[in-house]
Every structure is written in C-alpha cells, then in structure tokens.
Amino acid sequence: MAAPNEITSSQLIRLIGLPDAPAIVDVSTDDDFALDPFLIPGAFRHAHTDLAGLKELLKGRACVIVCQKGLKLSQGVAAHLRCDGITAEYLQNGNTGWSAHPDAPRVPAAAVPPSVCGSTLWVTRHRPKIDRIACPWLIRRFVDSKARFLFVSPSEVASVAERFGAQPFDIEGVHWSHRGDHCTFDTMLDEFGLNMPALARLATVVRAADTNNHDLAPQAAGLLAISVGLSRQYRDDTAQMEAGMAIYDAMYRWARDGTNEGHDWPAGHRQ
C-alpha cells in the first residue's frame, strides 16, 4: 500500500511547470548526487540535516522531497515537515525511479548557473516582446522558481552581467542566445535537457513568433499580437514580465493537453 504522503514520478510529472507546483527539494547526499548529477526540473538541493533552513526557504509552501531511492532521507525530511504543519510528500523510488521513467526529463546540474544571493540572476535587453518573456517563464517554471531578471539598455547587458554576476541572454555572442534558426527558448530547452513534448510544441510557436516565421505554427500570429499588446500596456519591464507569466502558463497547458480542442458557435454549427 502506498504511503499517504508518497507521490509517484507519473504524478509529479503532471505538476511540474504549473504555477502552483510544489517546491521540489533534493536532499540526497553529496556522494550520491556526484554519481548522478541531474535534477528533477525545478528542484533545488538542500542538506537533509538543515531542517530549520529548509523551513525558512519553503515559508509554508507545499513540497516534494527527493533523495536517491526514496527511503530514509526523503521520508524522514517529509515527516519532519508534516509534523510542523507543512504539506510535504516524498518521491517514490527517488531519483533512481525518476531517471527510469520514460517521460521524466532531467536537468544537468552543471547547466544551472550559480546562485547570486539565493537565486539565479539573468540579464537581457529592455523592452521584451517574445523570447525575453518566454525564457524567464521557462526558467521560473522548470529550473529556478526564484530566478531574478534584469532588463537594461542593449549596450549595457554585457557590462551588467560582468559586474553583477548575472547570466546574459537573448543577445548576440553569448551562450544563452539564438543558434542558427532556433531562438533562445530552444537553446534553453536543449541545455537544460527539457525534452518534453509540450515544451517542444510550445517552442515551435515561440520560434515562429520570435523569428517572424508564422508558417511554422498558426498560433504564432496570435502570440505576436498578444506580446506586442502586452508591451504597450507596461512601461516597467519587470511588471510586463510578471504579467506575461500567465500567458505562457496558458500556452503551456494548451501545448500539454489542449491542442485537440476547437471552438465554434453556435456549438456544432458550421457554415
């Protein structure tokens, strides 16, 4: 019989990427992690011995605790957190079970930039439209939920990156940028190992809209229109990005399980 605070890999896959997804905490030992240095999308590492620090980080947020095999470390940490009133589950079979699941993506730990004051820090050109909103959404939902983003003049992106330890993205000549006919969103999917069908489908729409190649996806014209309209609503780039998160949340759910749905009116009536 499954424990009441156990979650399977299949169940967790359905939660990853959603705005209300639980925090995923990897408490596996350093030795175990070194043998298989990959993360579940959105997971962060934390020592199982630092329960007080973990509770401070979670601030009451529901979580899934992961260790190597889903045994003593994850079950013990989850039980401690539940004892203190935090909704906590542990992943059945841990990282070992996750890596064996055919639909479970794994993020190479080496691909995740180092934290700056507790989160990854990114910098790009101001006045974002498509790629520069889609990429922050992807990072927040699948890599680092606390990621911070700086928007500056195009000429200052490189200098700000150097001075503040930020990762420059979506400008020419940097690691996180366009490659060939693919946009920065595509690059991030490749680098972070996010080979999920829904994200691949969304990437096609983002690429089509961002590179003005609407023949790739009929949804591209709509995404462009929404993105331009959003940019006209906001003078503050950070506020625009936060508003744009809801757009990409909706696009992701469409790409994941809504592409077969159509609409007409009156229902069932066609000209």
Nearest to 162 by CA among 112, 110, 116, 127: 116
> Nearest to residue 146, comparing CAs of 216, 265, 61?
61
Q: What is the mean pLDDT of the chain?
A: 96
- CA-to-CA dists, residue 245 to 13, 98, 120, 124, 140, angstroms: 20, 27, 18, 17, 9
Task: Give percent of the chain with pLDDT exceeding 70.
Answer: 98
Asked if residues 16 and 66 have their Cβ atoms less than 8 Å apart, the reply is no
Whole-number pLDDT of residue 271: 52
Instruction: Locate the DSSP E strands across the chain.
Output: 6-7, 23-26, 38-39, 44-45, 63-66, 88-91, 107-108, 121-125, 148-152, 167-168
CATH code of domain 6-108:
3.40.250.10
Give the separation between CA 86 and CA 118, rounded to whole angstroms: 22
Mean pLDDT of 146-173: 98
230-271 tens-digit pLDDT: 999 999 999 999 999 999 999 999 999 999 999 888 876 655
**Per-residue pLDDT reduced to its tens digit, 73-105:** 999 999 999 999 999 999 999 999 999 999 999
Q: Alpha-carbon distance 11 to 137, whole Å?
A: 22
Token pair of 14, please?
């359905």
The token pair that represents 30 in the structure block:
């350093």
pLDDT value of position 270: 58
Mean pLDDT of 161-167: 98
Residues with Cβ within 8 Å of 77's Cβ and at least 6 positions away in sequence, in order, are: 25, 27, 48, 51, 54, 65, 88, 90
Residues 173-199, mean pLDDT to the nearest whole number: 98
Q: How confident is the model at residue 3 (pLDDT cuts 50, 70, 90)?
A: confident
Tens digit of each residue's pLDDT (9 = 90 or more) over 138-151 = 999 999 999 999 99
What is the arithmetic mean of pLDDT over 169-186?
98
141: its two tokens: 């939902």
Is residue 72 within 8 Å of 49, Cβ to Cβ? no
Contacts of 81 (CB under 8 A, 6+ apart): 51, 54, 55, 58, 63, 65, 88
The domains of the chain are located at 6-108, 112-257
pLDDT band at 4 (very low <50, low <70, confident <90, very high): confident
Percent of the chain with pLDDT over 90: 95
pLDDT value at residue 263: 87
- pLDDT value at 2 more than 70: no
